[in-house]
A and B are shown apart, each in its own frame.
Chain A
Amino acid sequence: MHSLDSYLFISSMLFCLGVFGVMTRRNAIAVLMGVELILNAANINFVAFSKFNGMNLDGHIFGLFVIVLAAAEAAVALAIIINIYNNLNSINVDDAAELRQ
């Protein structure tokens, strides 16, 4: 219905917002949420291109995989975060810097 450009525009917005979130947020979970945004933006791209290339469903498959991967990643990330929380009592990304020493 709408041109490819609008979808791309939306997805780039989302992407930038996601990058912004990753860069700025201190809370680990907030960072994770930013990452989700990024992934979603990429997904929109895939699907949009799939539609506008003669309904080539490769894009869909990819999107599917991305979702799956996002899920797996979220699971693992959250497990790590909980572990960190258990050890450090804080999920501030700055605080989890002990290894650096």
Chain B
Amino acid sequence: MDNMMITLPLLILFLPLVSFIILIFFGKRLPRQGDWVAVGSIVTTLLFALYLFIQMILKSDQGGYTGTNAINASFSWIDLDAFKVDLGILVDNITIIMLLIVTLVSSCTHIFSLKYMEGDIRYSRYYAYLGLFTFSMNGIVLADNLISMYMSWELVGVSSYLLIGHWFEKDSATDAGKKAFLTNRVGDIGFFIGIMLLYTAVGSFAFDPIFDSIAGGDTITGLTLTLAGLGIFMGAVGKSSQFPLHIWLPDAMEGPTPVSALMHAATMVAAGVYMSVRLFPIFTPDALLVIAYTGGITAILAALIAITQNDIKKVLAYSTVSQLGYMILAVGTGVYTAAFFHLLTHAMFKANLFYCSGSVIHSMHHALHKVHDEKTDPQDMRNMGGFKEKMPVTYWSMLISTLAIAGVPLFSGFLSKDAILAGTLAFAQHHPEHFLLPLFGFGAAAITAFYMFRLIFMTFHGKPNMKDIFKDIHESPKEMTGPIVLLGTLSFFIFYTLPYFNPISDHGWFTDLVVPQTSAVPGSMTANEIAEHAHHAHYLAMGLSIAVATIGILLAFLMYVKNVISPKKLSDRFGFLYDWSLNKFYFDENYNRFLYQPFLKLSETVSWLDWDFYDKYFINGFGRITNLLSKLSGKFDYDGIDQGLVDGLGRISGVAGENLRKIQTGRLQNYLLYVVAGILVIIIIQAF
């Protein structure tokens, strides 16, 4: 049985990779461009993940696969004396739930794309990249050590880049892809520094040795540990689009909507949260504080931006950022299992919201195309209105998911949000100076309810804003509505409280199986303490969250349905606030002005140094000097040596020869003289 528990996760991991390889090389030649390869592989992984999930449920009386029951298989990758790295997989409850999330949403995306991306110019490549993404996401989920997590982390970034820029004919898409990747990289620098800090102190990359070493309290402590934790958290800031690196996620909406659903709602952005959940034991209280504030600020900031956005996908994007902020906030305040719970519910309803919006956009596209209108933005909510009767399935599913995200009881979001808010309240109760955190939390909840319902009202209620195309709006094909229905259903509370039926309970299979560990940092509150405190604050939080949600929905209702309060008048009245919100608080502009431009200037200066100064003077100078030297040398060689020595030798020989020739006079008496002289010389030599 255990063997299956290792083989199946490995299959889940590698099947999408196989699909990727096949589709990249042969995709175009396969019938239907090979989408059945992708869909087949992903559905298979879904079935495997379901199997694992069931296994876990069956073992739930033993606590499932936690602690000592967790499956850990590794192999030695690098084995040098000074450096050892083992790679492997870790399969425990969290892993199994996460695998299920990833494979489920990925399958929905694959099926949804069958119709949404029909006729796309790079159909097979799209599916190939989806496979690559699924592979890398599973890699993060299954990692049991920081190195393979980091490798998969980067791969996920690459897949994101490739998929965001899928329609790379559009400059905005390629820019968005680059922005996403580079912003991620900034976060990853911190991640890597954090990994290295941990490794140099602990000597291993794997989780359990690190936890044990930290708990031992002597290898890495204090400021170093905080810094390591913050470094690793930086990776989450980048990947999960937290403030201040949240700028890439809204731009990433340039990618196809199913991709947005998969990556930028359910899975990739959740990777940061997942990683924080996994590595919760290494965060010191100081690090956790930073994490909490980051999450809180992100939550409220993104919510404030979302209320004025007109593009349906942008609203959802900021909503995602805000919800991710919630999750990070939960990690920071200690209730990290609540964060994971919210990750699960959020994956379901946010992916659904994206699919529904995709369905709406798809419909708008077709309608606009029919009247040859290329200029109108099919994603702008101001062009929509009254789609309720035309797209009933989409409407009802979206409504359910919106109720979930708003935190209305009887829906999944209520349970998870409630848990988070209870955690923040509890934290503030024990640290009253951090009152801002629950304030951010509840405030964001109210605003979330508001803008999500604004979206619903603007899109589906009221009168249609573009009457000429309204008649062509129709429901989407069943490949698209299928996932919508499925995920909509999963937005109900019941699936998360099984085997209990209490809609406001904080017990269920999830809470039974996903049990928080105590932090490894010596001196932290134990998990039990945290849970206790949260439990005490539970009912207060519940009441408050219902209240704020009601306020938000009511306000949206009044403004967009009953038109009692006019949005226009409000926006004029609070002019500059509206501007700020609409323009995303000018983050991109300011980053550009204070970060990018100065850096570009610096690059230009350095480039000038290199090109115009160094190249011109030194390199060319060298060239000229060499030229001159070679001329001199040539002159020396030709005139000096050739003329002087070589010719000179010749001349000397000639002269010598001519002169020596004169000895041979032909006269006898000269020779006689030579003979006598020679005899003399010989005699002299002999004598001496």
Binding site for B on A (CB under 8 A): 19, 22-25, 31, 93-94, 97, 100
Contact = CB atoms under 8 A, between A and B. Distances in A.
Contacts of A23: 669, 672-673, 676
B393 to A, nearest CB: 131
Nearest to A25: B669
B668 interface: yes
Interface in B657-688: 666-669, 672-673, 676
Contact of A97 (B666, B673, B676): B666
Nearest to A22: B672
Contacts, number: 17
The 7 A-B pairs with the shortest beta carbon distances in the complex, nearest first, are A23-B673, A23-B669, A23-B672, A100-B666, A97-B666, A94-B667, A19-B676
B669 A22 contact: yes
Given A19-B676, A23-B676, A93 B666 contact: no
Contacts of B666: 97, 100
A93 B668 contact: yes
Nearest to A19: B676
Interface of B is mostly: helix
Contacts of A31: 669
A6 B428 CA distance: 149
Contacts of B672: 22-23
Select the residue from A22, A23, A24, A93 with max chain B CB neighbours within 10 A.
A23
Contacts of A24: 669
Contacts of A97: 666-667
Given A25-B669, A93-B669, 15 more contacts: A19-B676, A22-B669, A22-B672, A23-B669, A23-B672, A23-B673, A23-B676, A24-B669, A31-B669, A93-B667, A93-B668, A94-B667, A97-B666, A97-B667, A100-B666
A8 to B, nearest CB: 16
Contacts of A19: 676
Nearest to B668: A93
Interface in B47-71: none
A93 B671 CA distance: 13
A97 B669 CA distance: 12
Contacts of B673: 23
A100 B673 CA distance: 19
A97 B666 CA distance: 8
Contacts of A93: 667-669
A101 B673 CA distance: 22
B667 to A, nearest CB: 6
Nearest to B665: A94
A94 B667 CA distance: 6
Nearest to A16: B676
10 contacts: A19-B676, A22-B669, A22-B672, A23-B669, A23-B672, A23-B676, A25-B669, A31-B669, A94-B667, A100-B666
